[in-house]
Each structure stands twice: as structure tokens, then as C-alpha cells.
């Protein structure tokens, strides 16, 4: 093989791998991306039963019920629309009523949402950015505190 042919061979292989990568990415994009919905989004845009989504908002006060057998039910709200979420498992440490939460799962035919993953992670004041934006959109954004960093709002009584 001449130098030129050799170079051509390497370029063909490189393009082949690049093509493979692009193809895989496009395929995965069409198939495995999970969209975030606020309760209002669900009503506005509609979600097919069985479609895997993330539903996020605030956990409604006094809505948490224990159904036994490690199953809980609570409401996720953005103060405009509210949906009931059923989850079987251990709730994350930072799950609280009145706090932001993201649940991942699907709606069933009857309109109930069954989650297999509940995220409320890492920080008492951590508001998932999706939830914060959704609340701002629905006009129910209340606290600046939720947006500030952990170090600035740590311990509610802020230092003078």
C-alpha cells in the first residue's frame, strides 16, 4: 500500500466509527429521552398512558398517605394542577411535604401516576431547577431561598 492509500484506509475507518457513533446517538435520542412535565404541562400537552416521563412539582401539604407494604401515595402540585403519585419503595432522605420533588414513571389508563424513582436530592433547600422554572411559569414561585446556594441559606435564620 502506498502512503496515500494507507491514509485513505484510516480515514475510511475513522469516518465509519464516527458514522456509527452519530447513528447510535440519533437512535438513542429518538428512543430513550425522558421529558420533564409539570402538572400543568401534563394537562396542556397531554401524555400518553405508559409513556415514561418525569413529573415534578411540590409535594402537597398533608397529602402523604401510607398504603402499607412499603407503598406511599402523595400529590404533586404546581398550585394549578395536581396529580396523585403512587410509589413503592424507600423515599429519599430529603423528601418532605411542601418541598420540591421529581418523580419518574408513567401514567396508567385511569390517570394515576406510578413512579419507580423519586428524586429529592442532596439539600434541604435544593429545588430541582425544572420545578423552580415550572413554578415561576405558573406564577407560584415564592421563595428566593429555594434558589440560593446551599451555603447561603443553610440554617434558616440567616446570619445578619
| Strand 100-107 versus strand 113-119 pairing type | antiparallel
Helix (H, G, I), strand (E, B) or coil at 56: strand
Interface residues with other proteins (CB under 8 A) are 1, 3, 6, 9-10, 13-14, 17-18, 20-21, 24-25, 27-29, 31-36, 54, 66, 68-70, 88-94, 104, 121-124, 126, 128-130, 133, 147-152, 154-155, 159
**At its nearest, how many Å lie between other proteins and the CB of residue 155?**
5
Single out the residue of 32, 23, 47 nearest to residue 114, CA to CA.
47
**At its nearest, how many Å lie between other proteins and the CB of residue 81?**
17
**At its nearest, how many Å lie between other proteins and the CB of residue 145?**
12
Residues facing 2 on adjacent strands: none
Classify burial at 67, counting beta carbons within 10 Å of its beta carbon; exposed 0-12, middle 13-18, buried 19 or more.
Answer: exposed
Q: In this complex, which beta carbon is closest to other proteins, that of residue 50 or of residue 155? A: 155
Rounded CA gap, 135 and 61, in Å?
A: 16
**At its nearest, how many Å lie between other proteins and the CB of residue 110?**
23
Q: In this complex, which beta carbon is closest to other proteins, that of residue 77 or of residue 134? A: 134
Q: In this complex, which beta carbon is closest to other proteins, that of residue 16 or of residue 111? A: 16
**At its nearest, how many Å lie between other proteins and the CB of residue 107?**
17
> Could you tell me the CA-to-CA distances from 105 to 11, 81, 94 in Å, in that order?
44, 18, 19
Amino acid at each position: 500500500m502506498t502512503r496515500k492509500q494507507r491514509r485513505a484506509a484510516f480515514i475510511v475507518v475513522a469516518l465509519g466509527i464516527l458514522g456509527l457513533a452519530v447513528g447510535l446517538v440519533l437512535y438513542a435520542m429518538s428512543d430513550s429521552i425522558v421529558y420533564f412535565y409539570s402538572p400543568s404541562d401534563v394537562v396542556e400537552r397531554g401524555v400518553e398512558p405508559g409513556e415514561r416521563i418525569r413529573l415534578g412539582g411540590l409535594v402537597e401539604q398533608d397529602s402523604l398517605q401510607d398504603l402499607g407494604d412499603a407503598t406511599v401515595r402523595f400529590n404533586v402540585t404546581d398550585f394549578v394542577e395536581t396529580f396523585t403519585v403512587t410509589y413503592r419503595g424507600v423515599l429519599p432522605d430529603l423528601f418532605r411535604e411542601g418541598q420540591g420533588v421529581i418523580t419518574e414513571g408513567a401514567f396508567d389508563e385511569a390517570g394515576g401516576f406510578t413512579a419507580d424513582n423519586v428524586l429529592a436530592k442532596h439539600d434541604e433547600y435544593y429545588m430541582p431547577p425544572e420545578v423552580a422554572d415550572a413554578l415561576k411559569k405558573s406564577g407560584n414561585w415564592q421563595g428566593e431561598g429555594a434558589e440560593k446556594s446551599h451555603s447561603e441559606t443553610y440554617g434558616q435564620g440567616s446570619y445578619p
